[in-house]
Chain A
């Protein structure tokens, strides 16, 4: 659905995006991760035909960026970094204006606006000027705006950055619902927890592409594979048994928790659990030790720092 071939952008001699090459499949939720200034926004802007690539090519929905810009603009929706709503106009008018620019027929326009405003829990405030809304409410309106024309491809630049946890959840659920409608969603985010939860695949970039894969794949490859087990009656017998499990590399104890490092948690962990239970341990929780994707991310980005 989206294809980048050596996509590059320079600003006054400095390279912001360097030779990105990857594909995003139809119906996929794709996350673009990277530190501040990594070129995420620049990449999205190029894909939406807002700025020209310096080099390389890209295709969105089969249309080439630059040459078939108008076709691309018709099928994509964009949530930019800042919402950029018209503060003097009502929420409804803001969405209506955009729906008209996209040429959405009247009935569809009204249905969509109502649906999205209700979904974002802002239907009651539809006639209030957007300028009077909180930052998070504005963000929700802007997300609704990116959707009013039923785009096939949706670019969301940090969709939940300004949102309270409950609103962020609304937005995440909304994104997952859109996935069921077979839309392709491209998300820039700093929120690794979110990326892990909703993205099918993520790319980590820092000007250049560092790595790409599904969140669990990246965790397996680049995470340290630590697992935390909390046990009600942790004793030396249990500790001893865990240390002897095949594949366990290292065990740390803190309070009634064990932090277990292993090469391949998905095969080792069931054995660890078995060993604990066999030795009379009452397991309270088994969780990922360090935050999986975050660990992989920090490791990769740190290593590639220039």
Chain B
């Protein structure tokens, strides 16, 4: 594996994909919404109003006043929905760099170069992974600052980052981005339309949705064990899917079998 080649491919993909409208949406608009709009509408209503004790969500942490517990519950939800960014953004980029390049016949000259299949796949995967993770981090930082500013008067200390948010940011988000890229590679070999590929890659949000709803329903306490289990589950899924995408990305099959 020659990492300079891998890096060239990733760099090229990141440069050539920047101008597409959908990608821009994924890289700019969506993160802004997650960093600013979503925190505002989830947190703001609870800051001023009196919160009644009887409709406390099942996942609110114990040991706080009703109002604080409600806000903390909302903050956890906020952290969780950040996992949608790495589930979504890589699939948009990868749809362009795999399906788009397949349709525009840009893969043939690339496959003729003396790069190995693994270098090509890893380069292209990184080209989708890095912007997604970068944008997730940036957007997360924005969200953390905004939430802390809003909630400081109520708690007297910054509530974020907490354990959950750090695990989400540094463990779950990268793992989910890998999942999303792998799914996209597989789908790219079957589909001949960038938008269809983006939509089909939507299956990448399934684990995120599952986790999210289990938490909403109060079935998860989000202690160490559960967090570790979910991480392990993601690692397993990633390993399987990455293997699948490596099997799919076979140079001598791409020009003949990728329909």
Residues of A within 8 A of B (CB): 11, 45, 48-52, 70, 73-74, 76, 78, 80-89, 93, 97-98, 100-103, 142, 145-146
Contacts and interface: CB of A to CB of B under 8 A. Distances in A.
Contacts of B17: 88
Contacts of A84: 101, 104-110
Contacts of B113: 73, 98, 101-102
A76 B109 CA distance: 11
Contact of A100 (B8, B111, B255): B8
A78 B114 CA distance: 12
A11 B256 contact: yes
B12 A50 contact: no
B112 interface: yes
A74 B114 contact: yes
B69 to A, nearest CB: 50
B105 A73 contact: no
Interface in B1-36: 4-5, 8-9, 12, 15-19
Nearest to A73: B114
A189 B198 CA distance: 38
Given A88-B18, A89-B12, 9 more contacts: A73-B112, A78-B108, A78-B109, A80-B105, A88-B19, A89-B15, A101-B8, A102-B113, A102-B114
Contacts, number: 77
Given A80-B109, A86-B106, A51 B5 contact: no
Contacts of B251: 50
A101 B255 contact: no
Contacts of B256: 11, 51
A180 B111 CA distance: 28
B19 A70 contact: no
Contacts of A100: 4-5, 8
A153 to B, nearest CB: 12
Given A51-B256, A97-B12, A101-B5, A70 B116 contact: yes
A146 B18 CA distance: 26
B106 A52 contact: no
Contacts of B16: 86, 88-89
Contacts of A70: 114, 116
